[in-house]
Amino acid sequence: MPATIKKILIANRGEIAVRVIRACRERGIATVAVYSEADRSALHVRLADEAYPIGPSPARESYLDGTKVLAVARRAGADAIHPGYGFLSERSDFARAVTDAGLTFIGPPADAMDAMGNKTRAREHMVRAGVPVVPGDNGEGGRGFPTAQAALDAARRIGFPVMLKAAAGGGGKGMRLCDDEKKFEAAFHGAQREAKSAFGDDTVYLEKAVVRPRHVEVQVFADTQGSVVHLFERDCSVQRRHQKVIEEAPSPVVTPELRARMGEVACTAARAVRYVGAGTCEFLVSQEGEFYFLEMNTRLQVEHAVTEMITGLDLVRWQIAVAEGQPLPLQQEQIQARGAAIECRIYAEDPVRFLPSPGRITSLRTPAGPFVRDDSGVYAGSEISIYYDPMISKLIVWADTRAEAIDRMGRALAEYRVGGIKTNLAFHRRVMKNREFQSGDYDTSFIERHKAELCVAGGDDAGVLDDALAAAAIHAVSELPPPVVATEEGGISAWRQRGWRG
């Protein structure tokens, strides 16, 4: 059984690295950050107890290089690694390398990641476990299709419309919706190319497309003693290009009876692969109220904060406790949900075309007030790099009712100001005012259906702060501790160097 963790290396960047650092500080656990050349002055570098350079700006030469991460962990004397999400978080080979090195991996066992990481294998596991899955075809021997014609034959058997999906995928990459045989070959090859580029594996499989579904996921947690619980559901149906933009908990369409069924199925899925730690089972919910397993994300989710807001629980602390071999802090009947929470992903992007808008944040004013939370990895003066996801922050609110949560989010978004770059703040404000969204009766095609109303130029905040406020914001950067300097002898902590106690 692992001993008490004393020092954690966070193998990530941005807001999730900051989130983990804060949870560790509350537990009295020392933190180690890693950073690429582009992130030398990043917030997670400034906040960690120690930080070490890990390579050039491209992720494949830095954050995705597990060998470098492990070398830093040994050098810094870390006894555990938290992968965050993205990057190395779902790489079973990295999880094995961490444990083989005698360190604790704060995530599920590598075997569970293998079972659920490949989407076709995950479907097969779930079918054997009796979990409802979307009708589909994994190809010959579950290994995909050798030709577009073989895939088309399978699509005809399933019936159009169909969804092409990358077997090794996630995040909406390698996915194509096809409702016409004439478009199928192009869609097949397009999905293969994108899957190969994103995951190094061009295997794709087919699923029957569920018309106008909800995307609802269930947070699960498991410990090393065999206990598995769920922490209710999140609705992630506001998406663009199959990527989530707004999440909320609970789902406005999930009844208590459906919630209980989905929660039990999610726990069954976790038990089927002997899962440990935080995971998420994603489902499609049809207009008739039927639900189908899509995939399991073997990591903490970006949107875990809305679950924290309705349950009052710290999921990162739970992750650390489970990694230490402790039992789950609560049993299922002790976990309660209250009120409603909404999360908006604030991106540096063109709000019309959803294209990244890299550049320097010249000024920043984040919202505050009762039950408003801003999980951010930037400050005024930060650079939004071309090399990584352009997320500025996750803005989360809680209220007693969903209607009040929407009002609170609208107020918080009205206070949010970002200067120097384009953002999607205006898009989020428009969603909060949209009657379909307010009704709760929306689906995954919501953005596409309201694109003319939601994705229009104007109303953004780039450069709107006055010169005095911008100057004050930039000046505030000088009050942050300087980046940690790593030498051959080890990382020099800015906290110790200047007595910083943020």
Angle (CA) 364 366 496, round 5° = 80
Give SS3 for 52.
strand
At 215, list the tokens: 């995307």
At 370, list the tokens: 């009762």
Give SS3 for 330.
coil
Q: How far apart are CA 193 and CA 22, in angstroms?
A: 39
Q: How far apart are CA 443 and CA 89, in angstroms?
A: 29
- Radius of gyration over alpha carbons of the chain, in Å? 22
The overall longest dimension of the chain from CA atoms, in Å, is 67
Pairing status of strand 204-208 against strand 162-166: antiparallel
Q: Which of 13, 299, 408, 429 is catalytic?
A: 299
HEC assignment per residue over 363-428 = EEECCCCCCEEEEECCCCCCEECCCCCCEEEEEEEEECCHHHHHHHHHHHHHHCEEECCCCCHHHH
Beta bridge partners of 418: 364
User: Under a CB-based contact definition with an 8 Å cutoff, are residues 20 and 382 in contact?
Assistant: no
Q: How many residues does the chain have?
A: 502
Distances (CA, A) of 415 to 374, 378, 408, 461: 12, 17, 11, 11
Starting at the edge strand found earlier in the chain, the sheet holding 204-208 runs 136-137, 204-208, 162-166, 176-178
Q: How far apart are CA 110 and CA 276, in angstroms?
A: 10
Q: Match 């999610």 to its residue by tokens.
A: 266
Catalytic residue at 299?
Answer: yes
HEC assignment per residue over 4-34 = CCCEEEECCCHHHHHHHHHHHHHHCCEEEEE
Show which residues are catalytic: 299
